[in-house]
Amino acid sequence: MKKNLLKPLTVIFLCFVAFACVKDTDFDQAEEIALTPVVELDLIYFNIEAGEFYDEVNNIPIPTLTDTTEIRFLDDTEIQESLRRADFFFKFTNSIPRNFQVDFQFLSEQNDTTYATQTSVAEGSVQTPVITEFEEIIEGDDILQVTMANRIVVSVTIPDANPDLEGTLNLQSKTTYYLEIRDRE
């Protein structure tokens, strides 16, 4: 009796599996698949002492300090074509009793400016450092300008400095890249 039920149940099960997997499947949708990874990377960091804004040897203030960082992530052609948006987040902790102007300049290999932005950093004190956050979201036509850059120049400008100035200006930053990767034929 067990043998009589086993054959019909096997046939019914196989038919069910065959029709359930194939029915209403649209194989053309496979061409529309896009991967959308999000990549977060540390970008720029520095810790500037107040004394760096003053040249004690020549007894003169140094109004602007600059730092250059390479952006190697954007070198790849596939990344450049897939990048849809970039969020740059900057966090300044200022314990120097001065406001600062900070300029970010994206440069190409030929030293051409491809994109630029700026922000102000609020004055702090040694006893109570002040945190200033700045976010730059780049998308649309501007994203092409960012992908043409291979480095970022950060310029920090102080309105006035003297040898008695104390404190530090700290920057921590990260960038989030939003990609859309499609099959390219």
Note the pTM of the prediction, 2 decimals: 0.79
List, for residues 122-154, the tens digit of each pLDDT value: 999 999 999 999 999 999 989 988 988 999 999
List, for residues 9-63, the tens digit of each pLDDT value: 666 666 666 665 555 556 566 566 778 889 999 999 999 999 999 999 999 999 9
For the domain made up of 31-182, the CATH class stated in words is mainly beta
Query: Would you place residue 78 in the very low, low, confident or very high pLDDT band (cuts 50, 70, 90)?
Result: confident
Q: Using alpha carbons, select from 37, 63, 81, 86 the residue that is nearest to residue 159.
A: 63
Give the Cβ contact number of residue 67 at 10 Å.
14
Q: What is the pLDDT of residue 126?
A: 96
**CA–CA dist 42, 61 (Å, integer):** 31
Average pLDDT (80-94) is 94
Joined together, the tokens standing for residue 14 give 């196989």
CA angle 171, 177, 180 (to 5 degrees): 175
Phi, psi of 33 (to 5 degrees): -75, 135
